[in-house]
Amino acid sequence: MREVFQQELQEVQERLVEIATLVEISIENATRAFNESNVSLAEAVIADDDKIDGAAVALDELAINILARQQPVARDLRIVVSALRISASLERMGDMAEHIAQLARYRFPDKVVPRSLRSTFADLGKYDVQIAKKLTELLRTEDMRLAEEIRNDDDQIDALHLSVFDKVLGETWKGAAVDTVDATLASRYHERFADHAVSIAKKVQYLATGDWVSAGL
Amino acid sequence: MREVFQQELQEVQERLVEIATLVEISIENATRAFNESNVSLAEAVIADDDKIDGAAVALDELAINILARQQPVARDLRIVVSALRISASLERMGDMAEHIAQLARYRFPDKVVPRSLRSTFADLGKYDVQIAKKLTELLRTEDMRLAEEIRNDDDQIDALHLSVFDKVLGETWKGAAVDTVDATLASRYHERFADHAVSIAKKVQYLATGDWVSAGL
């Protein structure tokens, strides 16, 4: 029984890594579509979100199935419950990538943000992609240094997010209202993407240390 | 054992109703603070968010505890897992109320949105409060008509949310960039608040019908 359970936990972990990999591809494509105004890439991201949603639902069914059959307790139970939560966060990360792609599609053939914000959004995209890659690795290897790195990368994202508002609200901002709306939403989506990654990283970290309650496990 | 379990499920339900009631109070106060530029009310909402977070963590601990001790299967298991998810959505609804209150506090003594948008935000606030009240009732009574009503109210919210963008991107918009940013974020927070309520309502509905997978249960 115990051995079967360990195999099933491994299956859960592999599925989480698969979903994280899909999210990683989505955010890479979404931020590229956004920054390069690539409408076909944007549409691919939007279409692929169904795959992420489907994979998350399938994982949830597996996790509930394990709870029903294996009746885990203590740490094992926390692992399965945390998998349900991590899958919900990954699903939301996919949604954020989709939202970024939708902005790229709406504004095509124009770029979403005016010239003065392009390097900031290039950096936001770069950090989101980096965070997504580290998250996949963290879920695969449980190397806790990656959890720390994700938190640090998120600090960079937060600073960039604030700098978008500084620019948009600054005296030199010449954007029309549509530019202001798009920059506001786009920046929020990039920031929320990273927030979900941090929340997953905390869950992985606390699963390792046993401090479940602080991690909402 | 079965009787104890039923008592514990009732306890879970009561706690969900309590958290929903806290969320209801927060969104009432947040939207009032926002529309009337009431900074002390805004600060109360911000301070109260810790209560919602604490209550959600406590409920999660109870649910995990029930999973460990009672080892429920089938529908009973789905109910406990759905409680974990509903608590996560309620916690996010509290965050949205807090974000609305934060905007009111930042802009005090000014109002957050210019005159031309005030009636739209009054309506957004009205529907969010209405949705929150119906959600508490739905969790208390499991009266499925309320779930339908919440979906319909959410359609109103979506239409109002789009009308904010129509105004902000229209030719008569005279707002500064700060007004555009605030209106964009505030509208998004109101809309997300309602989205979470719909997602909870769906879970309650599907728990009743048994179609778990569609509801992400």
Helix, strand, coil share (%) of chain A residues, nearest 5: 90, 0, 10
Q: How far is the alpha carbon of B87 from chain A, nearest alpha carbon, in Å?
A: 11
The mean pLDDT value of chain B amounts to 95
Q: Does A10 score more than 80 pLDDT? A: yes
Q: Do B86 and A86 touch, CB atoms closer than 8 A? A: no
Q: Does B11 score more than 80 pLDDT? A: yes
Q: Does A1 score more than 70 pLDDT? A: no
Compare CB distances from A181 to B61, B74, B168 and report the shortest one's residue: B168
Residues of chain A that touch chain B, judged by Cβ-Cβ distance less than 8 Å: 56-57, 60-61, 64, 67-68, 71, 73-74, 77-78, 81, 84-85, 88, 165, 168-169, 173, 175, 177-178, 180-181, 184-185, 188, 213, 216-217
Percent of chain A exceeding pLDDT 90 equals 92
Helix (H, G, I), strand (E, B) or coil at A108: coil
Give me B178's structure tokens.
């700060």
Banded model confidence at residue A214, pLDDT cuts 50, 70, 90: low
Contact state of A64 with B77 under an 8 Å Cβ cutoff: yes
Domain boundaries, chain B: 2-215
pLDDT score, position A208: 82
Q: What number is the average pLDDT over the span B73-94?
A: 96
Count contacts between A and B (CB, < 8 Å). 69
Contact state of B67 with A77 under an 8 Å Cβ cutoff: yes
Q: Does A74 score more than 80 pLDDT? A: yes
Q: Exposed, middle or buried, B149 (CB in 10 Å: 0-12/13-18/19+)?
A: middle
Count of C-beta atoms within a 10 Å radius of residue A170: 11
Residues of chain B that touch chain A, judged by Cβ-Cβ distance less than 8 Å: 56-57, 60-61, 64, 67-68, 71, 73-74, 77-78, 81, 84-85, 88, 165, 168-169, 173, 175, 177-178, 180-181, 184-185, 188, 213, 216-217
Banded model confidence at residue B216, pLDDT cuts 50, 70, 90: low
Q: What number is the average pLDDT over the span B10-16?
A: 96
For B139-182, write each residue's pLDDT tens digit.
999 999 999 999 999 999 999 999 999 999 999 999 999 999 99
Q: Exposed, middle or buried, B215 (CB in 10 Å: 0-12/13-18/19+)?
A: buried
Q: How far is the alpha carbon of A20 from chain B, nearest alpha carbon, in Å?
A: 18
Q: Which fold has domain A2-215?
A: Methane Monooxygenase Hydroxylase; Chain G, domain 1 (1.20.58)
Q: What number is the average pLDDT over the span A58-62?
A: 96
pLDDT score, position A144: 94
Q: Does A55 score more than 80 pLDDT? A: yes
Compare CB distances from A168 to B173, B181, B216 and report the shortest one's residue: B181
Contact state of A67 with B81 under an 8 Å Cβ cutoff: yes
- Rounded CA separation B112/B176 (Å): 12
pLDDT score, position A197: 98
Residues of A with Cβ-Cβ distance to B85 under 8 angstroms: 84, 88
Banded model confidence at residue A204, pLDDT cuts 50, 70, 90: very high
Q: What is the helix (H) or strand (E) element at residue B155, kind and residue range? A: helix B144-168
Q: Does B56 score more than 70 pLDDT? A: yes
Residues of B with Cβ-Cβ distance to A60 under 8 angstroms: 216
ipTM of the predicted structure?
0.94
